[in-house]
Amino acid sequence: MKRTLDMIFGAAIVGLTVFASSCEGEQGSTNADATETAARRLDRMGRVEITNFMLCFRPYCDDDSIKDGYNREDPFALDPANVESYREALQVGLARLDGFDDGTFSSTEDWPAPHPLLGILLTDHLIVDVTRTCTVDSQSYLEIEMAAFRGVPHETCGGRTPNADVIDTTLTLMINGPDRAEPRRGDGVNKPSSPATDTFPYFAPPH
């Protein structure tokens, strides 16, 4: 019996130059004496931390199994029977983030309800414009999504670049709302321990 962990990438064309992309981790079991292969999806990743702090979970929701169900979904083809439950859990989680100001939870609302990014975030994949130039340091995360929200043309490549502090970007946007860049929210980790470079193969050697 051999077990493997594979990253599977997927993409869909949104426009002539704009693509949606995601990846997933699968653990497979292959029996050398048989032709059958069983694979189990462990997790998937589009936008950062959707299942970890945007979807609602206990104690804020009664049942946090929504995370496992959401991870099993194809990000390009959500099961229509499950969409409403995902939407409700995401609304609760985003509202909770929105209420976190000054280090405490409050009733302050910087985003209207229902959250205007629900539809964008529910289809959990990165949006990338392949005609825009970026570097490993470009701060382009969620820029295309927010441009669409504001009804203006996007200006960056979008996606998630290797050295970008996407956790801080996410927390700042979801807590402060669309119109306040300050204060900058963070998780205390502001850069990778081994930054990527603009020279192929870009990523630093593993520790």
Using pLDDT thresholds of 50, 70 and 90, give the confidence band for residue 57.
confident
Work out the number of other CB atoms within 10 angstroms of the CB of residue 106: 11
Q: Which of 97-106, 125-134, 138-147 has the lowest mean pLDDT?
A: 97-106
- Give the contacts of 29 (CB within 8 A, at least 6 positions apart): 1, 2, 3, 37, 38, 39
Instruction: Indicate the average pLDDT of the chain.
Output: 81
The residue that leads in pLDDT, 26 or 183, is 183
Provide, rounded to the nearest whole percent, the portion of the chain with pLDDT above 90.
39
pLDDT of residue 94: 92
Beta strand pairing call for 100-101 and 2-13? unpaired
| Percent over 70 (pLDDT), the chain | 79
Mean pLDDT for 6-16 is 51
pLDDT of amino acid 139 = 92
More confidently predicted of 94 and 51: 94
77-115 pLDDT, tens per residue?
A: 899 999 999 999 999 999 989 988 866 666 568 999 899
Q: What is the pLDDT of residue 171?
A: 93
Q: Each residue of 58-68: pLDDT tens digit?
A: 777 777 788 88
Q: With bands split at pLDDT 50, 70 and 90, how would you rate the model's confidence at 9? A: very low
Please tell me the predicted confidence (pLDDT) of residue 193: 85
pLDDT per residue as tens digits for the range 150-178: 999 999 999 999 999 999 999 999 999 99
What is residue 153's predicted lDDT score, i.e. its pLDDT?
Answer: 93
Distance (Å, rounded) from C-alpha 11 to C-alpha 57? 29
**Residue 176 — left, alpha, or beta (φ > 0 → left; ψ -120 to 50 → alpha)?**
alpha
Radius of gyration of the chain (CA): 19
